[in-house]
């Protein structure tokens, strides 16, 4: 599997002071994979150490042929994940 970073991803990671490499770390050690039904996007959620604390990140991505193209990354609370699942916006992706 190849990985690519869209311009928007690089901009947001820099803006949020999140190292670009975190996307691959979250993707490879995910707590869950989801589909955003509103935006028709893949989302991977994982917890990694950031600023001396375990934090949960969501990485939005597309799969183009055999390449995972990262779109954006942001910190997310467990409650926000549950709210998205409860509302039906997100659903678990079957891998």
**pLDDT (tens digit, 9 = 90+) per residue, 47-91?**
999 889 999 999 999 999 999 999 999 999 999 999 999 999 999
Query: Exposure of 92 by Cβ count < 10 A (0-12 exposed, 13-18 middle, 19+ buried)?
Result: exposed
What pLDDT is stored for residue 6 in this prediction?
A: 96
Rounded Cα gap, residues 27 and 7, in angstroms: 18
What is the number of structural domains in the chain?
Answer: 1
Predicted TM-score (pTM) of the model is 0.91
Structural domain containing residue 28: 2-92
Q: What CATH code is carried by the domain that includes residue 10?
A: 3.30.1450
pLDDT > 90? residue 95 = no
């Amino acid at each position: 599997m190849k990985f690519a970073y869209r311009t928007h991803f690089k901009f947001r990671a820099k803006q949020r002071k999140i190292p670009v490499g975190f996307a691959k770390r979250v993707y490879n050690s995910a707590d869950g994979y989801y589909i955003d039904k509103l935006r028709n996007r893949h989302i991977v959620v994982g917890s990694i150490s950031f600023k001396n604390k375990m934090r949960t990140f969501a990485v939005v991505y597309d799969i183009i042929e055999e390449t995972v193209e990262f779109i954006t990354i942001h910190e997310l609370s467990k409650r926000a994940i549950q709210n998205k699942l409860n509302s039906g916006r997100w659903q678990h992706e079957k891998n």
